[in-house]
Structure 1
């Protein structure tokens, strides 16, 4: 029997985190298959025991389900596991992954950055991502970029300068 535990985040994380979760299942000689239905939220999943595999039936891509940060899922994945399984993770609010700094460099980046950002979050087209961004944040991506550009640029410049200093001193 599969056991699923869902834990609400502390108050100071509620703007970014939907909930924390843990799932455990006993071992089995048979390969167990589960379908992970998309829910429009990004997530972080970490295997605490022997990892299974994750398969995207649309693209045919398959990978070890050990530690992954996912953008907004728009299609189901098939999880396969033999033996016991134990996973822990975080279900973020839509666009909550941006709080981790994943999107900062892309928002003010090259002309194809918005398309890249949309693809990283599982969207097939940039327009759909832009509509969802406005729906979840209340502002358009370009308005958000204008307001946040200075902060993102400062953070990006600092990381580039730190890397340059490390290279020069090393």
Structure 2
């Protein structure tokens, strides 16, 4: 669904299989072209993987876009991109290796709690690897329903795993 009004969205990118930097650049290029937006990019961060599976470190980045797509339409678009860039959800292990992971972290609209999508991302306040790059782009943004800015959420983030600049 497309409306006449645009909203800002912050999208988290993650991956740890193959040439992740190249894949991020390709995905961002596609978003820019297909959504007719000039994305703002955070720096890339390297992080240890979550979960019990032994795997490569992850690269993470946040992209700010402006679009008239609804959150659900944007989610559908992002999942299509994930599939086109090699993500196979049917074979995945939770917190396992990924060619690409695209998550809607927050937006300038109200909080959403739908079956297919929760915004802000439910784990946003608990993960340095999304808060650090998000703080580069929108330190004063208050994700809907959280009552604290991104920079303040980062200060109290319980995540002890470092997110290091690449």
Q: Which has the higher contact order (CA 8 A, sep 6+)?
A: 2
Q: TM-score, normalised by structure 1?
A: 0.25
Pair member with larger Rg: 1
TM-score between both structures, scaled by the size of structure 2: 0.25
